[in-house]
Chains A and B, each alone.
Chain A
Amino acid sequence: MRAWLPTALRGLLLLALLAFLVSPESFEPLLKPLVQQDAPAIYNHGSLLSLTLQHLRTVFIATAAATIIAIGLAILVTRPIGAEFLPLSRSLVNIGQTFPPVAVLALAVPAVGFGEKPTLIALFLYGLLPIFENTLTALTNLPRSVMEAARGAGMTGFQRLFQVELPLSLPVIVAGIRLSVVINLSTATIGSTVAAKTLGEVIIAGLQSNNLAFILQGGLIVGALAILIYDSLSGVEKLLTRRVGRR
């Protein structure tokens, strides 16, 4: 495969996605064969563009909150003051991953009601785990020689954390964020079962009215978003890895 081909494909994917979101009607002939005669081929209960933006906003808020808390917690348990929490936090991460998204979503409803809130909670919890796990792995596997050197140079704990440990861990942390975002983009669609405004609404409308075109467009938009975001975060990760100088 030629080196420019993947980049070109991604560019095309981005263009196709934008074109579809801005003017879905022009794609109608493509989707028309999938639906029964007089059924609409393009989602008609709201603008796809605004649903996409709301979807992204929900994922962004949840992942951003998860990133801050997860990194904070990982820093805490790797300091001497929080060392007692380390073994438990490891097993909690393990246990947390066994909770199915639908269950978390459904159990959040009685606490906060229907709508965007339960979705934010579920996405936040799901986002926490990969970021926490990666940050923890990165912080506990730093090269010993570098840490000794930092200590030898007389750096304080704070200086070591912000000037040595975090910068060195950044690529692995970004990999965790990337994983979280991709999982959450897909999980957010389930949020529409509890009335959150996400692209899941389109898919669920399709399931309810037996409209394949709706299911397909909802699914493909989310898939395309996931691929594009995954790739750009991979790019960021590579850039950071090169800057850190570890390959």
Chain B
Amino acid sequence: MKIRFDKLGVVIALVAACGVFSSFAVLKPNRILQGQAQSILDALPSGMGWGLLLVLVMAGTAAVLRMTAWAKLIAAAAALLVLVLAMGYAATFLTPSGNSYARVSPASGFWLLLFAFALLAADAMTRLRPPPWMRILFLVIAAFGIGGVLMSGSWNGLSIMKEYSGRADVFWTEAGRHVMLALGSLAAAVAVGLPLGIFCHRFTALKDAVLNTLNLIQTIPSIALFGLLIGPLAWFAATVPGAANIGIRGIGAAPAFVALFLYSLLPVVANTVIGLAGVPREANDAARGIGMTDRQRLFDVELPLALPVILTGIRIVLVQNIGLATIAALIGGGGFGVFVFQGIGQTAMDLVLLGAVPTVAMAFAAAVVLDASIEMNFRVQNGARSA
């Protein structure tokens, strides 16, 4: 039998090989000083180091050979899990006992290996073409896996978790704020943007003016827009009675919320207009023919048919908002950005990671869930159409 190679697998194996030969972990005398790089065999007890290498080589071989997507997915997942657990163990192994200042962080080799096997997993998953529910299932399994590793305490020796344990309360408060900013502004944008989009669809004279204005808002850089809203909101809080009591203030979450809301309007309105414009004329004619009122037609025919396009707009907004909400920290609006900017200020990179990693994870999870729901909607529609 002739052995056939998988081209992508060869690239992945090369990246992984680079990862194996670069440093695995860094031991730093304290949280901001430069550290000492350690290879896999230095960072782990020798038996474990060789064990990790063996698993990595096996998973790399699975990547290079042509195998079923399931086999590759399992190999990738196993490699990722072992890698993550080994990192946690390296932290305990490297930290000198009794030294509470020393910090261990993952180094470039670890990130390269993580990237390589995440690529392998992503490719296997793409090839499996999982139905939407299965993708959500994969996401839930991954979330439980990560949650399990964190809860088990095996990562507690790592620097990022030490940054976390010092500010666990603040972390969850900021997480709540981040979600509130991203989801709240999305909800507000849908509440305003959907009717506005329907309005633009019905009165085409308005369409260009509204969309052009919203386009203009998008050109203002986010940090400037956040800042520019401080003035008007401070004035609003000072002049409108009761506004200050419900938390509207010049700095803080209010301008961040309004800025995110303004950025969110364009995708929501534009996609509503596009979605409604794409409703087939026959569907509308048929609805009119059976005597539906305009209102019935809108809710029973047009909006359901436009839903996938509108949901695509919502997906864009949610992913964008989760990312942009980090900037709210610059004007005292809270969110994960607090850790990112504090970390940049103190050159404590693990603190930056503490803010950045959850943000990326949240945006990623939101994208997967919304993509799946968009696809489910398409399927329901196509099924209904062919029936």
A residues lining the B interface (CB < 8 Å): 34, 82, 84-85, 87-88, 90-92, 94-95, 97-103, 106-107, 109-111, 182, 185-187, 189-190, 193-194, 199-200, 203-204, 206-207, 210, 212, 215-216, 218-220, 222-223, 226-227, 230
Contacts and interface: CB of A to CB of B under 8 A. Distances in A.
A97 B123 CA distance: 17
B207 to A, nearest CB: 13
A98 B6 CA distance: 28
Given A88-B123, A216-B224, 18 more contacts: A34-B231, A84-B6, A92-B122, A94-B371, A95-B364, A95-B367, A98-B360, A98-B367, A100-B322, A100-B326, A100-B360, A101-B323, A102-B340, A103-B326, A186-B221, A187-B221, A189-B222, A190-B222
A134 to B, nearest CB: 16
Interface of B: 6-8, 108, 119, 122-123, 125-127, 216, 218-228, 230-231, 319, 322-324, 326-327, 330-331, 337, 340-341, 343-344, 349, 352-353, 355-357, 359-360, 363-364, 366-367, 371
Contact of B219 (A102, A107, A226): A226
A97 B219 CA distance: 19
Q: Which 10 A-B pairs have the closest CB atoms?
A: A219-B224, A100-B323, A215-B227, A103-B356, A226-B219, A98-B363, A186-B221, A189-B221, A102-B326, A88-B123
Nearest to A85: B8
A111 B324 CA distance: 23
B7 A190 contact: no
Contacts of B343: 106
A199 B230 CA distance: 19
The listed residue with most B CB atoms (<10 A of its CB), out of A100, A103, A106, A107, is A100
A2 to B, nearest CB: 14
B319 A109 contact: no
B360 A84 contact: no
Contacts of A216: 224, 228
15 contacts: A34-B231, A88-B126, A90-B126, A94-B371, A95-B122, A95-B364, A97-B319, A98-B364, A107-B352, A107-B356, A187-B221, A207-B331, A212-B230, A219-B220, A219-B225
